[in-house]
Amino acid sequence: MNTRLIGVAVLSLAALGAGFGQTPGGPGGPQPGHFYNLDTERQVEGVIQEVMFEPLYENRAPFLVVVLEENKTGVIYRVEVSPAWFFNYDFHKGEPAKVTGSFYSKDASSCLIARKLQAGGETFLLRDSRGFPNWRGGPATVKGGRRGRGI
């Protein structure tokens, strides 16, 4: 009887722990709906309207965010590029750019989480083909000092 009760308690705690690990918006975790989804991936080509740094995640480095106006439709996209420490290219207002990223909507705004970004004649690979960030592990684990540089 005691082993059965202990087994149930262990399973309950494991399920509870898994739930905490997946809860959006937890300390340092993503906000609801704020993750890379391959099913919503799209490519947008446009002109940079604004460049800013925002604290997207609690207790994390600020993110480089670019506001991009799509050429074909005029739709304004808020593009989340990467943590500021990872990216070493200076964007400029009016510069053309092409972004491949995961689309989501927030507060009636169109947003993209960038996987690949092309600007200034360079291609920056920010995430792998499955959408996992190339900066995972933090600044100390970025190999070769490439910091987003790609092809």
The span from the CA of 133 to the CA of 20, in Å, is 22
Query: Cα–chain-centroid distance for residue 106?
Result: 14
Q: Kindly list the averaged pLDDT for each block of 10 residues, start to end, along the chain of length 151.
A: 47 38 38 78 98 82 93 97 89 96 91 96 95 85 51 41
Per-residue DSSP letters for 31-89?
A: PTT-S--GGGEEEEEEEEEEEEEE--STTSPPEEEEEEEETTT--EEEEEEEETTT---
| Residue 140: predicted pLDDT | 66
| Residue 55: predicted pLDDT | 82
Q: Which CATH number fits domain 38-141: 2.30.30.60, 1.20.140.10, 3.40.30.10, 2.40.50.140?
A: 2.40.50.140
Q: Which helix (H) or strand (E) holds 5?
A: helix 2-22
Residue type, 75: V
Q: Which segments of 95-149 are extended strands (E)?
A: 96-106, 109-119, 122-125
- 125 closest CA partner among 146, 144, 148: 148
The domain spans of the chain are 1-25, 38-141
